[in-house]
Amino acid sequence: MIKSLVKSLAALAFLWPAHSFGQNQTYFAAYPALTPDAQTIVFSYDGDIWKVPVKGGVASRITAMQGEEINPKISPDGKWLAFSSNQFGNYDVYVMPLAGGDIKQLTFNDAADEVDNWSWDSKTIYFTSGRYNSFSSYKVNVNGGTAVRLFNNYFNTTHHIAESPTGELFFNDTWESMRFANRKHYKGAYNPDIQSYNPKTKSYKRYTDYIGKDFWTSVDQKGNVFFVSDEGNDEYNLYTFIGGKKTGLTNFDTSIKRPFVAANGTTVVFEKDYQLYTYDVATKKTEKVNISTSRNQVLSKEQEYDVRGNISAFDVSTDGKKMAFISRGEVFVSDADGKFIRKITNSGERAMECKWLADNKTILFSQTANGFQNWFTITGDGKGTVKQLTKDKANNRDITLNKTKTMAVYLSGRNELKLMDLKNFESKTLVTDEFWALQSAAPSFSPNDEYVLFTVYRNFEQDIMVHNIKGNKTINLTNTGVTETGPAWSPDGKYIFFTSARTKPSYPTGMSSAHIYRMALDNYGDPFRSDKFDDLFKETKPANPVVKPEPSTNKNDKKAKADTTKKKAEVKPANVITINTQDILDRVELVGPAFGGQFGTDAYAKGDKTYVFYSSNHEGGAPGLYRTTIEPFEANKTEKVADGGDYSLIQAGDKFFVLTRGVINKYTLEANKLDRVDHGYKFTRNLNAEFNQMFYETWVGLDENFYDEKFHGVDWDKMKTRYAAYLPYVNNRSDLRILLNDMLGELNSSHMGFNSLGAEERKNLTYVTNETGIIFDDENPLKVERIVAKSNAAYTGTNILEGDILTEVNGVKIDEKIDRDYYFSKPSLDREMTLTFNRNGKQIFVNVHPESSGALRNNLYDEWITQNHKNVDKWGNNRIAYSYMKNMGTGELETFLLDMVAQEENKEAIILDLRYNTGGNVHDDVLKFLSQRPYLQWKYRGGKLAPQSNFGPAVKPIVLLINEQSLSDAEMTAAGFKQLKLGKIIGTETYRWIIFTSAKGLVDGSSYRLPSWGCYTMDGKNIEKEGVKPDIFVKNTFEDRLADKDPQLEKAVAEILKDLK
């Protein structure tokens, strides 16, 4: 039977493509490690762990778990394989016999636990985890038990632990070696260096002090250290120490990754160009490891999708009979009721906009070509040939057709407004200006086609412009220092509707309290009631009776009738448009709600009524689609149309249609009623073509929007060519993430990244950690050490004391040989848990409400801040106000202002602490507050004089604390603080991580970040490249943090006390 089965499988093998099984060029093999004797390589590939002889050959699969297995490491005795797997949603540490056997899960926390290395006695596994802070180093016994953190202090972010035979622990401790290892060429204060600490001798060493990147340390059994550095040629190459001197071993022009030296010290294995290589330590020769693996090419398989609820854009033909719409980048056509549907594109590219042309047969649509959006046409039945109309190396977008569909206007690239003749499809540039290639408002035509209405950027804010097509003249209608955007012409041509916050700039915080306004283009008065009264008595001629003609067989008669019908269908000319710019801003009036936030405007008319549509959240909660009806002699009426803020509204003849939340609805204007059109239609696409399209679209997005036109000195076209060469070898979404993030990393840019999570990666079962706020003892993992302040276990009445021994969780007895987190790991957070403790031989039962691991991390962060407050009060004799901001978001701005309200008036000086600050966009608000100074006094009779303004921090000593982790908007704040001369800056140079950024979505919901707005000092220095230097340099070291010392804060207090004498 077995022989028969083997023969059957062999026969079937001939039916499958050869490349589905063996390939001699295995790409995206990663995380390599060697057996102690350097004879075998283990590595991660296609989500599993594999092994192959060091000289290459056929690889065999070791694991086949759900999810992804990474970071395989073999114990020095050669018996055990440790690795990390995310089969339950997050990475945990696992171990198994290298020779084969049961896989054992060692850790159960919902943070990512990523294996680093083994101890030399093969008893301990070192790993990096974010369970109690951003990330730090831990160890766990190979036989199980609870993991122990190696180095305390919230901001000791050690990782990549490698133990030397002497017990010395090598590590790195910066984001640039952990989160952004793919970022090339970084030079700055937060660079990773090779460091070590010996827990036995309490000895700390720093081996390198290079401003670039030294990291990924590996150590052999003799203590020889190997690592990567970009010091030689700005690419990661292999280095070691010879006689204590940093020495380069390779000089590749493309970077290597994750070197690992065998225990016997003969061979180093590493990644390069998405393949594995070995370096012979004795001969100094590098060889590629040719690996043959069984590659299951699932990306080329067709995957099924449904358009229902997933429509992103649409249009309706003028005759009202047909719809064109887009779902997941494909163009579809259906009848108006959604019963009969056909997919009419199949290019593997991404379509984004579609419009019916005047013949009701042809569709104009945008689609990517080599990543750039260009214009195409196709017949609505899908039977014709797709014709490409433009071949621009710029994104063409936001197209609008005039009512007769003879012209179209659209934006192209960063700075062009173009007009397309829909008869010959030729385009010409109308206006060249600062449109930006993102966050632009769509242009449109005036009702009489005389003008094009659009917005341009002036000092980061949008102005509303009109351009006379025949006269080739442009007029700025608003010309203010704030944004007016989303303009829409009223149907009668007399008004322009728009969105604005009127007195508040939109950058950098956005327009959260914007409203809808109407601007009159001339001095129009209100209609008179007396005129309407007189209209009641005007005589009207009776309509002639309709005589139905006899059918005719004469072709000329039929042609005449068709011509007559055509003439009747012709659109009546719109009113003459008058634009009087004198005092035009005095003619702006509010439309709709005066509270909440509104955005997006569309205006339609029926009879005397004008209907203005927009998104609004004025009723609380999520935004919805609303309309305000403007009617003579009636108060404006606002009513809700639908849920969902993002919408698209189309008029086809006398019919209206609305797209909201991915669904097209028929809309009855008079009744304000939606009737859903149920587009139930399934179609297929394959991820291989989709991934290729996403790659090029991402490249184009950066090509068009990256803030530095010189791309930080990188040949961006060359990078596209280099990385596109690996697209044929991408086998899954993880490979695509690696490839795109590596390409983006070439730009040496902050605020960069490609994020993607596909349905095919979702786990069947995920777990979260039910944290309690209890910190347990390292030596005895079940003994209560303390309770975290602000945690759920810290509530008054919770009967948990230091020294209590945890014995049960929800009635389940605890086994000390199992990770304590196992008992707190659940598919979701419990509403409450019952913990049983042993207190001096007596059982104590305590109920607690679990909290998330994120809440625990935040509370631990707050403990550090609270201790800083106490230290400043103690060292400064209660004379100094202290405020700490975790980031530059609105929540932390509120914290800062509350700190100032509570402390500033009663203190003589201020310390603003922006160390470890992760940025945001409230720099202007912070600096405005700190810049206040008294300008007069007032008092009530017999009372004390009080200053105006209420707060005057600028006349007091102020110290701003920064360090190498102060980034983004914290750097903007520091630069502004220095320019305004508000006080002293103490600490280290900032991160050099500041470009204002947005994100752009891709066809499958993935996204990439767009660092588009550079930040510069008043004398033109690029803060991204130079950072902000302190006035007084003080560095907190690893040893300072380990000993809970804070020289920077001490210096800040000392400097203020010196000024207060």
Measured CA to CA in angstroms, residue 360 lies from 330, 382, 674, 887 at distances of 20, 13, 24, 54
DSSP per position, 250-273: ---SS-EEEEEE-TTSSEEEEEET
Q: Which of 327, 751, 883, 892 is catalytic?
A: 751
d(CA 781, CA 815): 11
Query: How many other β-carbons are positioned within 10 Å of the β-carbon of residue 906?
Result: 9
Are 1015 and 995 in contact by the 8 Å Cβ rule? The answer is: yes
- The answer to whether residue 968 is catalytic is yes
Contact 274, 27 (CB under 8 A): yes
Q: Which residue, chain included where needed, has tokens 């199992």?
A: 818
Instruction: Tell me the C-alpha distance between 55 and 41, whole Å.
Output: 9
| 247 Cα distance to chain centroid | 39
Q: Is 1024 a residue of the active site?
A: yes
Marked catalytic residue, from 114, 851, 1024, 1055: 1024
Yes or no: say if 663 and 309 are a contact pair by the CB < 8 Å rule.
yes
For residues 1004 and 328, the answer to whether their CB atoms sit within 8 Å is yes
Helix H or strand E segment including 875: helix 853-875
Catalytic annotation, pick one of 177, 334, 968, 1012: 968
Looking at the chain, the number of H-run helices and the number of E-run strands are 14, 75
Scanning the structure block, which residue is given the tokens 């899908």?
382
43-74 burial, b at 16+ Cβ within 10 Å, e below that, comes to bbbbbbbbbbebebeebeebbebebbbbbbbb
Q: With CA atoms as reference, report the closest residue to 230 among 750, 699, 713, 746.
A: 746
Backbone φ, ψ for residue 551 (5° rounding): -60, 140
Cβ neighbour number for residue 1001 with a 10 Å cutoff: 10
SS3 686: strand
Q: 205-220 as b/e, with b when 16 or more CB fall inside 10 Å?
A: eebbeeebbbbbbbbb
Task: Say if CB 123 and CB 142 are below 8 A apart.
Answer: yes
- CA dihedral defined by 570, 571, 575, 581, rounded to 10 degrees? -130
Residue pointed to by tokens 């012209």:
407
Residue 22, phi then psi, degrees to nearest 5:
-105, 135
What is the rounded CA–CA span in Å between residue 61 and residue 115? Answer: 19
Per the rule left: phi > 0, alpha: psi between -120 and 50, beta: everything else, 78 is: left
Residue by residue, DSSP assigns 767-807 as: -EE-B-SEEEPSSSTTBEEEE-TTSGGGSTT----TT-EEE
Which residues does the annotation mark as catalytic? 751, 968, 1024
